[in-house]
Chain A
């Protein structure tokens, strides 16, 4: 399988996001990336939108995950930092890969502990078509259907590149 080029996807995503926000009448939303890949995608997207200098919130969702006993707390991930008020603001939440939807669920819970946003728009680079929760992106780069033993990994921060990985046979 050939994977799409993130740069190509991002150009289309920027256009789609502009259209989506215009349709909803949302002006000057705040951007929030989910550590680590989502932050890379968010920066690239802001550059595409010509807003490279806009403040970017970063979210570490480890403390909100439902599976932390399986994956640990990832202390190497930097703490959350939201350099703006969440209360009453329109937010654009950005992640690299949407798979089960559990990361986004955790991110929404984390955001609501900072305040009650007016709205949250979800932007993802890839959807792996493996949803376990009713969560889908408002703006999406591409959908991929992978075999059960395949994963996709984003390399970054610049340039962004996608890599297909095959999991070792489970024991």
Chain B
């Protein structure tokens, strides 16, 4: 095994193709566009009577979820199955780790089952990166969300949603609203929007839920919802992540809803054709009014459909990048 070249990002192979998908940080615009274009093609597959293609036939994809998830887990599972892979899903939170097994030992066991790809969700930031560094070569690792750090497939499915509803990113104003501090979705979205050339990215929330120095992402921070929503094209609402909150960050949910909840009235401040997004699960009456969540401007359920296509794109691209790398190394060895 060759040591990882420090200059080469862990998630790309020698030809710049995806081999792991851990974070959107540092990925070039061309690669993000390639993911979106590939996902567009997979949307067509999802609309057919036979929603299956043979790209990952004979491969084993292992979903390892150290943290609860419904949407992400099931859409990854569906994506892998539509690519004809064999899929195992492990909810490790209820499994061996509670019996004292270490992360590395769990991994070695999964490797012994000849898995070709791991989809990992973990409550600790950096877990997917750690696994990608320690997994045996040629196994691809996909980050299904790690702590507060990143949720890159959610970021990309949000970008696909925006591109399909707004045509592009060049002239858009996008507002991300709510619990920015605990949100890996917000981080992935800010990075993706910046890379794809969105000129006006706003984050809106109470000071206690805005990360210090959030401006380094090239965004403008607002604590006033009305000012932040003015004339935006896209509103991305975030879930209030009470399970990650320690201490008194919020006076009460009622107070939060009064100041930052998205009501029809407040949505009227955005452009008339603005779309409303939410990564789910939504808390009705906490960050979003039911009338908005179910309204004509809501694309929340479209996001779920697009999520399958994005995950199919990322799974197939990473597998292809791993195989190309293996062929390259075999060629070098000869």
Chain A residues engaging chain B, CB cutoff 8 angstroms: 60, 62-64, 68-70, 72-73, 75-81, 109-110, 113-115
Contacts and interface: CB of A to CB of B under 8 A. Distances in A.
B327 A75 contact: no
Contact of B41 (A69, A70, A75, A115): A75
Contacts of B320: 68-69, 72-73
A60 B41 contact: yes
B37 A76 contact: yes
B45 A69 contact: no
A79 B316 contact: no
Contacts of A114: 48-50
Contacts of B49: 113-115
A69 B48 contact: no
Given A70-B324, A75-B38, A64 B317 contact: no
B10 interface: no
Given A69-B324, A75-B41, 14 more contacts: A60-B41, A63-B42, A68-B316, A69-B319, A70-B327, A72-B320, A73-B38, A73-B316, A77-B41, A78-B41, A80-B44, A113-B48, A113-B49, A115-B49
A60 B49 CA distance: 17
A114 B44 CA distance: 12
A77 B323 CA distance: 22
Contact of B44 (A68, A81, A109): A81
B54 interface: yes
B48 A79 contact: no
Nearest to A80: B44
Interface of B: 17, 34, 37-38, 40-45, 48-50, 52-55, 313, 316-317, 319-320, 323-324, 327
Contacts of B317: 73
A63 B323 contact: no
A113 B41 contact: no
A76 B34 CA distance: 8
Contacts of A76: 37
Contacts of A69: 319-320, 323-324, 327
Nearest to B33: A75
A63 B55 contact: yes
B54 A109 contact: yes
Given A69-B320, A79-B41, A79-B44, A113 B52 contact: yes
Contacts of B40: 75, 79
Given A69-B320, A70-B324, A73-B317, A79 B53 contact: no
A161 to B, nearest CB: 28
A76 B313 CA distance: 13
Contact of A75 (B37, B323, B324): B37
Nearest to B51: A113
Contact of A64 (B54, B313, B319): B54
The 5 closest A-B pairs by CB, nearest first: A69-B323, A75-B37, A79-B44, A63-B53, A113-B50
Nearest to A81: B44
A75 B34 contact: yes
A113 B44 contact: no
A74 to B, nearest CB: 9
A77 B34 CA distance: 11
